[in-house]
Chains A and B, each alone.
Chain A
Amino acid sequence: EVRLVESGGGLVQPGGSLRLSCAASGFTFSTFWMSWVRQAPGKGLEWVADINQDGSATKYVVSVKGRFTVSRDNTKNSLYLQMNSLRAEDTAVYYCARPLLSGEIFDSWGQGALVTVSS
């Protein structure tokens, strides 16, 4: 059974930093792209970032480019999202998601980690 468990969420002041982690199990982590998708409170879904199997390629939504960095450690079956220069509009539940090999079809999701950016 595929399992994705996020951690590291919390309250941070504007301009601050936070690092999210996602522990993966139940599948061969190193063979899949991985993604972060966020959802602001009461709002819709927004794809944030992707990373390829060996970490050599990444993609970001424009609103986080230059502030967020996605990375992974295949020896630990873990995905990360380093978030810097956080803004109030980054407040959201951040989901770790696994895309299928055929494209960004997210077939498995974690339960999410809440990030609140507020003073």
Chain B
Amino acid sequence: DIVMTQSPDSLAVSLGERATINCKSSQSLLHSSNNKNQLVWYQQKPGQPPKLLISWASTRESGVPDRFSGSGSGTDFTLTISSLQAEDAAVYYCQHYSFDPYTFGQGTKLEIK
């Protein structure tokens, strides 16, 4: 199984500042057929299901604000929120989709300082 490890477990960032969340996989997520990384990022707010933010490590979903960006390749990935807004307070998860089981990181809780 691929183990997904996020860091930090939690962070507090001031409004308007940058937030960075890291995700490391125990195996490369690079898909040989298209040279893209099989990694997604989700946002989950209390009492709600997760919301898909980014797929293929860096492709932002339709309707997701452009302050959210994903980067990285192979085994190391980053979710960056360029200018934190109050509504970005949530738990963020990475997940791989290379093969089953499709495992998630443990989550990173982002709070507003």
Contact = CB atoms under 8 A, between A and B. Distances in A.
A47 B49 contact: no
Given A95-B49, A106-B52, A107-B61, A45 B40 contact: no
B105 interface: yes
Contacts of B93: 44-45
Contacts of A61: 100-101
The 7 tightest CB contacts between A and B, nearest first, are: A109-B49, A104-B97, A47-B102, A45-B104, A103-B97, A104-B102, A105-B55
Nearest to A107: B52
A105 B94 CA distance: 11
Interface residues of A, number: 21
A64 to B, nearest CB: 10
Given A104-B97, A107-B61, A47 B103 contact: yes
Contact of B101 (A62, A95, A100, A103): A62
B97 A44 contact: no
Contact residues of B: prevailing secondary structure: loop
Contacts of A90: none
A44 B100 contact: no
Interface string B77-113: 0000000000000000101010011111111000000
Contacts of B52: 105-107
B38 interface: yes
B50 interface: yes
A111 interface: yes
A111 B101 CA distance: 22
A112 B38 CA distance: 25
B93 to A, nearest CB: 6
Contacts of B95: 45, 47, 104, 106
29 contacts: A44-B93, A44-B105, A44-B106, A44-B107, A45-B44, A45-B93, A45-B104, A45-B107, A46-B103, A46-B104, A47-B100, A47-B103, A97-B49, A100-B55, A103-B97, A104-B97, A104-B100, A104-B102, A105-B55, A106-B40, A106-B42, A106-B50, A106-B52, A106-B95, A107-B52, A109-B49, A109-B50, A109-B51, A111-B49
